């Protein structure tokens, strides 16, 4: 483990073109549950499965039930950035990290200070009226009950990608551009099980593919360096 950390530190010290690709494991250390771990949302009991509730169809047909779940389980507005978020922001300030590509929707990378954050699945911090597109802050959603409505009467929707919805093509293309040009690609806190996001690593052309995750992933055999440990623990040593 110490040897692997030392090798990663050596690579990072010698690079000014790092791209980070992260998933739910980056946020779990800030107290936000992920979907697929033992303690994740998929292993808790609700009236409907979370993947059903968080679908486009369910949002349109059972909007009030969607928001009951969403407010209780998807909003973690008191969560604080952890060592991984803070280190990435530090590297960006130093000109080393060019972009953070994230599957998370919590805005913690920005809260830590990162500027170039590509949110594949959107953000709970942004919300908009489906009728007139007026934006609303997350605080309005959190403090409300029932279905949040715009001053025009339209339903307010979080700017997050639900099941059955496609990813934003601009965000995808920009992520591909950063990843394809990166010297070091660090993948952290993701099981690489969610597509099309997981397929983005196929665009990496370099020879310093780093995987940091608590458990093995399908891409471990392709990586140049694999560290099985919590990402905050690893990044706090860099």
Q: Is 121 a catalytic residue?
A: yes
* 52 touches 42 (CB < 8 A): no
Give which of 38, 168, 156 is closest to 105, Cα–Cα: 168
Taking the C-alpha atoms of residue 20 and residue 152, their distance in angstroms, rounded to an integer, is 40
Taking the C-alpha atoms of residue 132 and residue 152, their distance in angstroms, rounded to an integer, is 7
Task: Classify residue 3 by burial, with Cβ atoms within 10 Å: 0-12, 13-18, 19+.
Answer: exposed
* 192 touches 221 (CB < 8 A): no
Other Cβ atoms within 10 Å of 127 Cβ, number = 21
Cis peptide before 196 (omega within 30 of 0): yes
DSSP class of 166: P
Strands 117-119 and 184-188 turn out to be unpaired
Residue 94 is encoded by which pair of tokens? 């130093």
Residue of 85, 109, 121, 228 marked catalytic: 121
**Residues in Cβ contact with 39 at an 8 Å cutoff, skipping those fewer than 6 apart:** 33
Residue 16 is encoded by which pair of tokens? 């000014």
DSSP class of 41: G
Strands 97-102 and 18-22 turn out to be parallel
Active site residues: 121
């Amino acid at each position: 483990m110490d040897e692997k950390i030392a090798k990663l530190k050596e690579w990072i010290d010698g690079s000014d073109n790092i791209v980070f690709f992260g998933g739910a494991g980056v946020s779990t250390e800030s107290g936000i549950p992920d979907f697929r771990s033992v303690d994740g949302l998929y292993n808790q009991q609700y009236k409907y499965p979370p993947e059903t509730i968080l679908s486009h169809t369910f949002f349109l047909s059972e909007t009030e039930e969607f928001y009951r779940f969403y407010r209780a389980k998807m909003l973690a507005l008191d969560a604080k950035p952890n060592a991984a978020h803070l280190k990435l922001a530090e590297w960006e300030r130093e000109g080393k990290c060019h972009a953070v590509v994230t599957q998370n929707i919590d805005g913690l990378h920005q809260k830590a200070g990162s500027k170039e954050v590509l949110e594949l699945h959107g953000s709970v911090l942004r919300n908009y009226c489906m009728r007139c597109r007026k934006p609303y802050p997350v605080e309005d959603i959190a403090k409300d009950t029932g279905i949040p409505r715009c001053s025009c009467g339209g339903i307010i929707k979080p700017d997050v990608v639900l099941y059955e919805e496609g990813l934003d093509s601009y965000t995808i293309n920009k992520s591909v551009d950063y990843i394809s040009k990166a010297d070091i690609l660090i993948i952290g806190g993701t099981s690489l099980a969610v597509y099309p996001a997981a397929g983005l690593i196929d665009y990496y052309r370099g020879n310093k593919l780093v995987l940091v995750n608590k458990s093995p992933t399908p891409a471990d055999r392709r990586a140049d360096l694999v560290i099985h440990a919590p990402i905050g623990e690893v990044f706090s040593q860099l």
